[in-house]
Structure 1
Amino acid sequence: MASKIVLIGSGAVGATFAYTVLVKGLATELVIIDQNKDKALGDALDLNHGLMLAYPMKIKAGGYEDCEGADLIVIAAGAAQRPGETRLDLMGRNVAIFRSILGEVTQYTQTAILLIATNPVDLLTLVALKITGWPKNRVLGSGTLLDSSRFRYLVGQKLRIDPRSVHGLIIGEHGDSEVPLWSSLNVVGTPLEDHEENSRFYISPEEKEKIYEETRGAAYEIIAKKGATYYAIALALARITEAILRDQRSILPVSAYLEGEYGVSDICLGVPCVLGNNGIEEIVQVPLSQEEREGFLKSAKTLKEFSHQIGF
């Protein structure tokens, strides 16, 4: 089935996502848009040289007019934080960038699905939703899928098992106030909290805190060591893309606009959602412990205060 992806922003994250789309064969057409036109042209040419080794796909550098007929538009463009710059200042610059980008996008399509990757992703997903006025199911962010993958990797490392055999979620902000759902974390259908100290699947409170701190601080560590994170987030974006374009109805924790779910309204946060051809088909509400619920509400409050500061 024909499918068209438009990627806006071909920096480290965007370019790695484009490569992943080619390797996985996720679309029949990929258009790359970047303010630096030579970078977009170079990436398109480089990817085209691999077509014989991957999947048939039409790949080109283009302009906003190419958004016409797009099934999915992925936004990975945005300003990087400057030394000494506050988060609010950075947000102000990125909101201005998003106004410009979305003003162009909406001239050429009103029917695509928007997937936001730019940080702070939850706030910028809200900004995109408000600026476009599109239905909430068609505007989503990468949310806490990457955080959940990091979480499951670290739990798998502790238990010495494949992270794909660990089932657990991080919800809330993609950032410092994210919430690990220890109460529903399980292996082979058995909650880890049911295991006693002598079990190989037991994780002590101290070890849980260490895993959470490493999950939450992963981006800071990677950025300190190599300047940016892009491999794992590109894989997360590709997984969301696959679920949407192939109508898989996969449940993934993405940034979604809440209207009363989990007791929260008028903010975008990472929560498990059913993803398919319509974007967010359904928001799934999972049981939370009292501590988890309080953490989620605190995360929501933090982001709502910030959204009000930037006028959203």
Structure 2
Amino acid sequence: MSEAVRRVGIVGIGNVGKAAASAILHENIADELYISDIDTERAKGEAFDFADSIELTPSRTRVAEVPLAGLAVCDVILVAVTERKKVISDSRLELLKGSAAITYDIVPKLRKAGFKGKYVIATNPCDIITYLFYKLSGLPKNHVIGTGTALDSMRFRRLLSKAIGNVDPRSINAFMVGEHGDSQIAAWSHVTVGGQPLDQFEADNADVFPKINREEVEDAARHFGWEIHKRKGNTQFGIGNELAFFARSILNDARIVTAASVVQNGEYGQHDLAIGVPIVLGRNGVEKIIRYQLSEKEWEGFSASADLIKRYTTQTLEEHQEPAVN
């Protein structure tokens, strides 16, 4: 990673890419921001517009539109590409065919151009696309990171906060794990409030707050993205800022704990797939995968989610004549 000039690239400058770019520029996360899109004129226009906005802020990030190969000099590339199609359900899996085709197009080109940094992937279905990036990029598995259930976990904490009297969500430790999709689960057995296990917190405050309807909260966290999408046609600011957060955490060696979709090598009993779990995020990308001892019910849900991801991953690899997942 460059110590002198911190460079972040964004491939795909649609709604999510623009939100990520705005956060990076206005939070002064990088010294240089490179954006690339198949629509080069649009990308140039966005770069010009972002340059105008910087004049009104303390940020001095330099922004430029570049061809795809121009992203190879970056320390971190944020992936926000998507097939432009109408999403008709809350299942992100329906995006797989188009997203896989784009992945098989751009990753070999970036590999040929010599990219050796970190990928952070928001393109859906995130877990499967993250694994494809790993397979095609030639990079170590800790350098390829999907946003996975990071945003879902943030939503989960916010919903829990509301249920227990608006305790600051940052004082709540809680994660959604598994697929960034309909099969994800809440790791209830590891939820704490101010370090106190949730079960104990509820017991101590039974006369103040009603008992949490866990099924209702978990389901709301699982489908919150669709609630946004069906009202405005997309999600952008939450996931855009999540991408910027990942870039900042890597560049600053934050070693912060977050959920992410990462390639498994025996952790959680899984091999050769990417799935959402808690990690330590820092300069080396995935510094550590945090292994939760899930309850029996949680293990069942997590395993079912992993099986779903593996089935679709294997199918996609076979369609593109890649070796199947073991």
TM-score range, shorter chain: over 0.9
- Candidates 3, 13, 19, aligned match of 1:16: 19
Note closer, same or farther for the CA distance 1:89–1:293 as it changes in structure 2 (3 Å cut).
Answer: closer
How far does residue 64 in structure 1 lie from its aligned partner after superposition?
2.0
Instruction: Provide the C-alpha distance between the structure 1 equivalents of 2:221 and 2:92, rounded to a whole number of angstroms.
Output: 21
Residue 132 (structure 2) pairs with residue 140 (structure 1): no
- For the residue of structure 2 that corresponds to 1:50, the secondary structure is helix
Residue 83 (structure 2) pairs with residue 103 (structure 1): no
1:143 partner amino acid = G
Identity, % of aligned positions: 34
Q: Is the 8 A contact 2:71 2:115 kept in 1?
A: no
How far does residue 284 in structure 1 lie from its aligned partner after superposition?
1.1
- Cα distance per residue 1:158-188 (max 9 Å; x no partner): 1122212211111111110111011111111
Residue aligning to 1:211: 217
Instruction: Provide the C-alpha distance between the structure 1 equivalents of 2:286 and 2:35, rounded to a whole number of angstroms.
Output: 24
- Candidates 158, 161, 164, aligned match of 1:156: 161
Residue aligning to 1:227: 233
Q: Is the 8 A contact 2:264 2:275 kept in 1?
A: yes
Residue 253 (structure 2) pairs with residue 253 (structure 1): no
How far does residue 201 in structure 1 lie from its aligned partner after superposition?
5.6
Q: Is the 8 A contact 1:192 1:202 kept in 2?
A: no
- Candidates 130, 135, 152, aligned match of 1:130: 135
Q: Is the 8 A contact 1:193 1:202 kept in 2?
A: no
Residue 281 (structure 2) pairs with residue 275 (structure 1): yes
Residue 193 (structure 2) pairs with residue 187 (structure 1): yes
Note closer, same or farther for the CA distance 1:9–1:225 as it changes in structure 2 (3 Å cut).
Answer: same
Residue aligning to 1:77: 81
Note closer, same or farther for the CA distance 1:89–1:232 as it changes in structure 2 (3 Å cut).
Answer: closer
Residue 118 (structure 2) pairs with residue 113 (structure 1): yes
TM-score (norm 2): 0.90
- Cα distance per residue 1:62-105 (max 9 Å; x no partner): 11232232100111012144467997664222211111111221
- Cα distance per residue 1:1-29 (max 9 Å; x no partner): 52101100000000000000012111000
Q: Is the 8 A contact 1:80 1:90 kept in 2?
A: no
Instruction: Provide the C-alpha distance between the structure 2 equivalents of 1:236 and 1:34, rounded to a whole number of angstroms.
Output: 20
Q: Is the 8 A contact 1:99 1:131 kept in 2?
A: yes
Note closer, same or farther for the CA distance 1:176–1:43 as it changes in structure 2 (3 Å cut).
Answer: same
Q: Is the 8 A contact 1:77 1:118 kept in 2?
A: yes
- Candidates 33, 37, 48, aligned match of 2:36: 33
How far does residue 221 in structure 1 lie from its aligned partner after superposition?
1.1
Instruction: Provide the C-alpha distance between the structure 2 equivalents of 1:80 and 1:150, rounded to a whole number of angstroms.
Output: 26
How far does residue 109 in structure 1 lie from its aligned partner after superposition?
2.1
1:70 partner amino acid = C
Q: How many residues align?
A: 310
Instruction: Provide the C-alpha distance between the structure 1 equivalents of 2:141 and 2:198, rounded to a whole number of angstroms.
Output: 35
1:43 partner amino acid = E
Instruction: Provide the C-alpha distance between the structure 1 equivalents of 2:103 and 2:95, rounded to a whole number of angstroms.
Output: 12
TM-score (norm 1): 0.94
Instruction: Provide the C-alpha distance between the structure 1 equivalents of 2:175 and 2:250, rounded to a whole number of angstroms.
Output: 20
Note closer, same or farther for the CA distance 1:46–1:110 as it changes in structure 2 (3 Å cut).
Answer: closer
Instruction: Provide the C-alpha distance between the structure 1 equivalents of 2:115 and 2:230, rounded to a whole number of angstroms.
Output: 40
Instruction: Provide the C-alpha distance between the structure 2 equivalents of 1:80 and 1:193, rounded to a whole number of angstroms.
Output: 44
* Residue segments in structure 2 that go unaligned for 5+ positions in a row: 318-323
Instruction: Provide the C-alpha distance between the structure 2 equivalents of 1:132 and 1:83, rounded to a whole number of angstroms.
Output: 28
Residue aligning to 1:59: 63
Instruction: Provide the C-alpha distance between the structure 1 equivalents of 2:58 and 2:41, rounded to a whole number of angstroms.
Output: 24
* Residue segments in structure 1 that go unaligned for 5+ positions in a row: none
Q: Is the 8 A contact 2:93 2:125 kept in 1?
A: no
1:94 partner amino acid = S
